[in-house]
Amino acid sequence: MSLPSDDGAVLSVGHLRAGYGTREILKDVSVEMAAGEIRAILGGSGSGKSTFLRNVLGLEKPWSGEVRVLGADLSVPGPEADLALSRMGVLFQDGALVTSLTVGQNTMLPLVLDGIAPKGAARELARARLSQVGMVDAWSLFPAELSGGMRKRAALARALVREPRILFCDEPSAGLDPLTARELDNLLLELHRSLGLTLVMVSHEIESIKLLAQRILYLDAGAVLFDGTLEDALQNGPDRVRDFFARRVDSGDRLEPSTWETIP
């Protein structure tokens, strides 16, 4: 079975509106991502980055609009969604490894869910990915025994074990020290080059974005403020986007001070 868009746009979002309860978070977001690009989704807190990712991954059902990953709507369970899921990987913020399984078992888990026994070929593939991220020695450790950076690397191995065409990363460098964060960035870049992986990362880490991103999607208050290349964003982007990269703090909402009346 093949998917409608096996070549062409790997992710297309059209007029996406989404939120929680009655609170609207995303107001009409449209975006297309081509195969092989590295795209950073950024914006301040509350801008709708995480909601965007959750809707794209099919973890929330959009209010309206269309979301397709590799041509499939992930929020509708079925063979098409399953096929798309098997060709993508997700690196969650804290790794989200299954607590009751060891690092090795976690890495084999995607294959086991495809009906492959966790031995033989599955073991070799998991070992290959774990050595790629430098974690093969942690094979029999449980997630609780790992540091934050190690958990992320193991989760990356798990996300890569089915050789995905597209990898989603939620804040890849959040909670890591600068050195570990750069190591992870370089690892992602290397994987992008060697596997031709399409990378979609939600981030607000300027260093990571500058190092990795080719194109950026800047969300502000649930709408797309800028969609284009990184160079374009730095040179001709809206003030807010340029301020973001220049680390200028937005001071528009500061309160007027009260004044005391004085008499001589």
Partner 1 sequence: MAEILLPTRLQRAWALEEGGGLETLAKKEDLVLRGSGVLEVDVLSAGTLHHIRRLAREHGHKVLLRAPSQVLLDRLAALDPGPDAPLPVAATPRPVLERLGQSGWDVVSHVAEAWAFGVGMVLGTWSLVSRREHGWPGATSRQLYELGASGLPVVVLLTGLIGLTLALLMGQQLAIYGESIHLATFMGISFVREVGPMLTAVIIAGRSGSAITAELASMAVQQEVDALHTLGAREASFLVAPRLLALLVAMPFLSLFASASGIAAGLVVAVFQLGLSPALYFQILVQSVHAQDILYTLLKSAVFATIIVFIACRNGLATRGGSDSVGRATTNTVVEGIFWTIVADCVFALVLYL
| Whole-number Å distance between alpha carbons of 208 and 223 | 23
| Whole-number Å distance between alpha carbons of 214 and 194 | 17
Contact between 82 and partner 1 per CB under 8 A? yes
Nearer to partner 1, 9 or 101 (CB): 101
Binder among 19, 73, 93, 183 for partner 1 (CB under 8 A): 93
CB distance 17 to 49 below 8 Å:
no
Nearer to partner 1, 80 or 220 (CB): 80
For residue 209 the two structure tokens come to: 């974005």
Nearer to partner 1, 158 or 215 (CB): 158
Question: Closest approach of Cβ 246 to partner 1, in Å?
Answer: 28
Binding mask 159-178 for partner 1 (x = CB under 8 A): ---------x----------
For residue 241 the two structure tokens come to: 């986007």
Contact between 257 and partner 1 per CB under 8 A? yes
Pick out residues in 22-61 that bind partner 1 (CB under 8 A). 54, 57-59
CB distance 70 to 87 below 8 Å:
yes
Nearer to partner 1, 34 or 59 (CB): 59
Torsion of CA 179, 180, 181, 183, to 10 degrees: 90
Nearer to partner 1, 8 or 78 (CB): 78
Question: Closest approach of Cβ 158 to partner 1, in Å?
Answer: 8
Q: Is the dihedral of CA 224, 46, 149, 244 positive or negative?
A: positive
φ, ψ dihedrals at 156, nearest 5°: -65, -40
| Whole-number Å distance between alpha carbons of 171 and 102 | 24
Judged by the rule CB under 8 A, the positions of this chain that interact with partner 1 are 54, 57-59, 77, 82, 85-86, 88, 90, 92-94, 96-101, 105, 109-110, 112-115, 117-118, 155, 158, 168, 255-258, 260-264
